[in-house]
Amino acid sequence: MYFLAQPPRHLFFTGKGGVGKTSIACATAVQLAAEGKQVLLVSSDPASNVGQVFGIDIGNHITAIPSVPGLSALEIDPLAAAQAYRDRIVGPVRGVLPDAVVRGIEEQLSGACTTEIAAFDEFTALLTDTALTANYAHIIFDTAPTGHTIRLLQLAGAWSGFLEQGKGDASCLGPLAGLDKQRTQYKAAVDALADPRRTRLVLVARAQRATLREVARTHEELAAIGLSQQYLVINGVLPAGEAQQDALAAAIAQREHAALGAMPAVLTALPQDRISLKPYNLVGLDALRHLLDDTAAVAPSNTIDLPARLDVPSLAALVDDIAADGHGLVMLMGKGGVGKTTLAAAVAVELAQRGLPVHLTTSDPAAHLTETLEGTLPHLTVSRIDPHAETERYRQHVLDTKGARLDAAGRALLEEDLRSPCTEEVAVFQAFSRVIREAGKQFVVMDTAPTGHTLLLLDATGAYHREVTRQMGTTGLHYTTPMMQLQDPKQTKVLLVTLAETTPVLEAANLQADLRRAGIEPWAWVINSSVAASRPSSALLRQRAHNELREIDAVATRHARRYAVVPLLQQEPVGVERLRELAHLAHGEP
């Protein structure tokens, strides 16, 4: 493996949820410890399962792994760290400032940026305190900070308390007001990240176009701030032998080959490793020791117990219930790479096939679905929003208004804050809002909806809902703001999209909690690209299908009020007919 050749002291693994970075980080730690080195494995993933992988409780203290001599582990709890931040900042003003102001500050500090910066605060000492980690030859981090977070930490003046000085409504700068360590220590940590003699960043992706595009953006963002020592690992590549006797496996192999062939140019220059898809859950030492090689045995397919028929609801069954209302807003939400755009198109096609007027609006940069659907189906109209153009328009508006009142340091902080993921969500949602009002007369299906945190930020700082409420409250007239519409289940139905894998399900559950905080109750979950629903014959895929059954059961019994399962198809679901096939299959058969 190239990424393990002469490794420096620090190795950071980063990538989207579900690509396997935790498993690869654990396997790397096991391999280095097997070479006789003292290794510390650190996870700052909110959905960390490092303890589960090794079969012991770890938690927020350094714990020796008894089964692996030389290996210790630490699970930073970023959610607890973020809560400590909020308590430090909000505590002194609670009861002093009006409740509405306090709630606004709390929401400023409830987003992903707070969690990430709080985690960085926790592991700064591991990068800079030589006495604390002197015994370890290698420190391996599962989940690295993003380029946005590192830029925030590099900015001069960020330590003065942006919110306390009243310089703006920051979505991501709020956490900086709670940092209580010396600025020099943070500078030392950032310097350690940027030094290739001390740190190596390993980008983890899957052989899929969407995840490769995403990791290319991560590469460029990190390289732009000096973190250039990067390696690429393509995880979960289907072994060629599996494609010989299974049509589904052959189709997967062909798609992966095409995705790798079209890999963004910025990635092709990186040292690259490929790790084969494994049939088993990556739990336990035997699994970890075989992850980085291809020697693991696959059980014969006839020994794998799968139900003859997966008795689960189809997407079309969900659409039947949606269609009964005659009109409304349907929002599809989920983490990147789970197939929101495809499922949004499938829902829109199903509604249009019932003779109902539908407006499908998407911010998918690829726009291949809009091209496929344009003018091909009665009752369906499609619009595409350009996220880049909308974000730039929004950024410029904020700089021209709020930024005009700031000094140079304040403006620099505001510009950095406008690079956060929240900014694109706000900008795209504002563009979506122009078509939301149509949902009173027809169906509007929205792909790539904002998170609950972003919606609350819009409500707390955007003033529209609040201002309308203030102006209309005494008139007795009926009125509806966008936020009220999203919170009304009769007008809006939110579909959470996930995969039948541990990390994506945990992330969807966290997103559901985020939405509930905003007063929005998800209407249904959709489990996409299920192998278990595709009735594979490949032994490897049958083992993977068996592993999915537990996650499908967790969604059905613990997380969702209603749900549907969508199978992984042999052909990519592009075009009306394939999208309809996607919606109507739930058992691997018509």
Cite the active site residues: 18, 20-23, 45, 503
Q: Partners of 273 in the beta sheet?
A: 233
Cβ atoms 545, 531 nearer than 8 A: yes
Q: Partners of 201 in the beta sheet?
A: 12, 230
Q: What is the sign of the dihedral through the CA atoms of 221, 225, 231 and 233?
A: negative
Cα–Cα distance measured from residue 445 to residue 351, given in angstroms and rounded to the nearest whole number: 10
Q: Which residues contact 470 (CB under 8 A, 6 or more apart)?
A: none
Amino acid found at 178: G
Cα–Cα distance measured from residue 121 to residue 181, given in angstroms and rounded to the nearest whole number: 8
Q: Which 3 state secondary structure label does DSSP give 37?
A: coil
Task: Identify the CA nearest to 565 among candidates 577, 548, 578.
Answer: 548
Could you write out the DSSP letters of every residue in 396-410?
HHHHHHTGGGS-HHH
Burial (CB count within 10 angstroms: exposed 0-12, middle 13-18, buried 19+), residue 8: middle
**Residue 514, both tokens:** 């985020």
Beta strands in 321-469 (DSSP E): 328-333, 358-362, 380-384, 443-447
- C-beta contacts of 478-484 below 8 A and 24+ residues apart: 482/433, 482/436, 483/455, 483/458, 483/459
Cα–Cα distance measured from residue 196 to residue 401, given in angstroms and rounded to the nearest whole number: 41
Beta strands in 345-437 (DSSP E): 358-362, 380-384
Measured CA to CA in angstroms, residue 402 lies from 366, 418, 455 at distances of 33, 12, 20
Cα–Cα distance measured from residue 186 to residue 201, given in angstroms and rounded to the nearest whole number: 18
**Residue 244, both tokens:** 């010989």
- 8-state DSSP, 536: -
Q: Which 3 state secondary structure label does DSSP give 188?
A: helix
- Helix (H) / strand (E) element for 412: namely helix 408-417
Cα–Cα distance measured from residue 50 to residue 552, given in angstroms and rounded to the nearest whole number: 22
Beta strands in 466-569 (DSSP E): 492-499, 524-530, 563-567
Computed on alpha carbons and rounded to an integer, the radius of gyration of the chain in Å comes to 24
Cα–Cα distance measured from residue 584 to residue 546, given in angstroms and rounded to the nearest whole number: 22
Measured CA to CA in angstroms, residue 302 lies from 246, 277, 495, 557 at distances of 14, 20, 36, 29
Cα–Cα distance measured from residue 200 to residue 186, given in angstroms and rounded to the nearest whole number: 18
Cα–Cα distance measured from residue 266 to residue 220, given in angstroms and rounded to the nearest whole number: 8
